[in-house]
Amino acid sequence: MRDWPEDRLPDFAALLKAGVAARDLRVHSDGMWNGAVNVWAAAHLAWADLEIEAKGKNLASVEFAAGLGLREG
């Protein structure tokens, strides 16, 4: 999904139609690279817990929080 724009939510139906394997859509990325997804996820933090699913989970969590203007601690 690295070719997908960072500022757009993924269109899973379009990606499947374009031939991207469902398996490839479920694979963990290295981090939280899609800004649109991050904004969507952050909108739910007031009422839900968020678990970062990424290969580099700890670094991805720090980068996600930094992108929201939060700091550790």
Question: How far from the centroid of its chain's Cα atoms is residue 65's Cα?
Answer: 12
pLDDT score recorded for residue 72: 61
Tell me the percentage of the chain whose pLDDT exceeds 70: 93
**Residues 6, 3: Cα–Cα separation, whole Å:** 9
Q: Between 35-42 and 57-67, two packed helices, what is the crossing angle to 10 degrees? A: 80
pLDDT score recorded for residue 1: 63
Low-confidence stretches of the chain (pLDDT < 50) are none
pLDDT score recorded for residue 71: 67
**Contacts of 37 by beta carbon, 8 Å cutoff, 6+ apart:** 9, 10
pLDDT score recorded for residue 40: 92
